[in-house]
Amino acid sequence: MTDDRLILTQDRKLRLFTVFILYVCQGIPIGLFWFAIPAWMAAKGADAADVGYVLGFTALPWTLKLINGFIMDRYTFLAMGRRRIWLIGAQLVMIAMLLGCAIVQPEVTQIGLLAAAAFVVNSATTFQDVAVDGLAVDIMEEDERARASGMMFGGQAIGIAVSTALSGAIIAQFGASAAYLFTALLIGLATVYMAFVREREGERKLPWSAGTAHSRNTAIQAEAWWPILKSTFTSVFKPISLLWVPVLLSNGLQYGVLTGMTPLIGTGDVGWGEQEVTSTAGTASLVAGIIGLTFGGWFGDKFGAKRATITIISTYFLFSAAVWLSVDLWSDPVLFVGFVYCWMALNTLLTVVALPISMRLCDPTVAATQFTLYMATSNFGITIGAWLLGRSDGFGGIRSMLLVLCAAFTVAIILLLVVRYPRKSVAAEVAEELPQGDGVAPVVN
């Protein structure tokens, strides 16, 4: 394959495969720190407060993604494209920290070290995430959006699945240090891949390679903070945008709560070890990813983003209520497996079908930064969920968290029923009016 065939803007299949593989890469550290490490902690005797503490620091960087977006929109190395230098750099930081964890080998009682490691790795992961989202905004054509959404979040679920299942097995057999090394290896493979592709023709593969910045990127690169800040906050604080925030928070809240509940129920009520819990979670995440790749995109296109989102959230409400009512059966391994499979599938579907609404709300002039803010809002909900879980003993135990989810879902459903969210992307309308040149894809989101 020649270099000319490794240019993202010139190859539709390469674009879709690249965002897929990068989201798989993004799911790998998530699987480790959201599932494998908490399951290992729970199996070693850590309580809900300790697990929730580490999960809180795992989630915290995801609430700060807006800062990442501003930095990336303002500063980059255009000779390598707008996003690729950030992608490669973030993945190198992830690898370095994971290797450091393998050397230091923090114990389950060293909550501070585990929280610090989770925070640093996930901070780098969020930079990678924002860079991938920005890349998709920059290079994806309008008719690729729905398919790209399914591949992105389906790929993330598959990455989480592979990482969770294999990391859990490796921890059980060889210890946490080996799992850190394994995760670093997988991320390293994705980093090598990114060193061989380019965003646009004429750009450098690596900082020391030959090449120049593309004229399109030079023309749109922001040279000051104020225009970015002004456009972003003007768009975000529109009433329609603010009314979307509670829906995003409910999406994040369910993930933060149920991610922490999974190892606690699996090890506490069912009596499994960390390998059994992580294997179940990993397989469930794999199935959820496949559902997102196939059914999720079709369902959203068939019924529309708003109607599909209402359907999934309503199903999630009924599911949460059923789990709350069946507390006496939580020790049943079959029901536990069903619980894990159901919530992971619903989580992936909700993310896939709701994503187009976030995209449609974005101002095309600051689409990457505004989209990042919406994702950060959802991730802030994850932090809230993890924080509440860690303090659930003070108001009825982890079972009470299911009622919190039902309340959040109720608010989201009401908003979706009464608010007229946009049916077409403003970014797409503007892109149709802009001149295109040099084979550059429209800037849509």
* Helix (H), strand (E), coil (C) string for 262-307: HHHHHHHCCCCCHHHHHHHHHHHHHHHHHHHHHHHHHHHHHHCHHH
- Nearest of 241, 240, 251, 217 to residue 373 by alpha carbon: 241
Q: Are 65 and 369 in contact (CB under 8 A)?
A: no
Q: Are 112 and 79 in contact (CB under 8 A)?
A: no
> Residues in the chain, how many?
445
Q: What pLDDT tens digit does each residue of the chain (445 aa) get?
A: 345 668 887 888 888 899 899 999 999 999 899 888 888 888 888 887 888 888 888 888 877 777 887 788 777 778 887 888 999 999 999 999 999 999 988 888 889 899 999 999 999 999 998 888 878 777 777 666 667 777 887 888 788 888 888 888 899 889 889 999 999 999 999 999 998 898 888 788 888 887 787 777 676 666 667 777 777 777 778 888 899 999 999 999 999 999 889 988 998 899 988 778 878 887 888 888 888 888 887 888 788 889 999 999 999 999 999 999 999 999 999 999 999 999 999 998 998 888 878 877 877 556 667 777 888 788 789 889 888 888 887 777 888 999 999 999 999 999 999 998 877 655 445 444 444 444 333 222 2
The pair of structure tokens assigned to 244 is 């979307």
The β-bridge partners of 396 are: none
| pLDDT (0 to 100) of residue 219 | 67
The pair of structure tokens assigned to 422 is 């946009």
Where on the phi/psi map is residue 279: left (φ > 0), alpha (ψ -120 to 50), or beta? alpha
Q: Are 205 and 211 in contact (CB under 8 A)?
A: yes
Q: Are 34 and 259 in contact (CB under 8 A)?
A: yes
In tens, the pLDDT along 271-315 reads: 988 778 878 887 888 888 888 888 887 888 788 889 999 999 999
**3 state SS of 198:** strand
Q: Are 199 and 31 in contact (CB under 8 A)?
A: no
CB proximity list for 396: less than 8 A, separation 6 or greater: none
**3 state SS of 225:** helix
The alpha carbon of residue 52 and the mean position of all alpha carbons in its chain are separated, in whole angstroms, by 19
pTM (2 d.p.): 0.72
- Nearest of 76, 73, 72 to residue 203 by alpha carbon: 76
Query: What number of CA atoms fall less than 13 Å from residue 32's CA on the CB side?
Result: 31
CB proximity list for 93: less than 8 A, separation 6 or greater: 120, 124, 127
The C-alpha atoms of residue 195 and residue 206 are separated, in whole angstroms, by 7
User: In this structure, which long-range contacts are made by residues 233-237, counting pairs with CB atoms below 8 Å and at least 24 apart in sequence?
Assistant: 234/363, 235/361, 235/362, 235/363, 235/366, 235/370, 236/370, 236/373
Query: What number of CA atoms fall less than 13 Å from residue 90's CA on the CB side?
Result: 26
- Nearest of 255, 238, 274 to residue 370 by alpha carbon: 238
| pLDDT (0 to 100) of residue 445 | 29
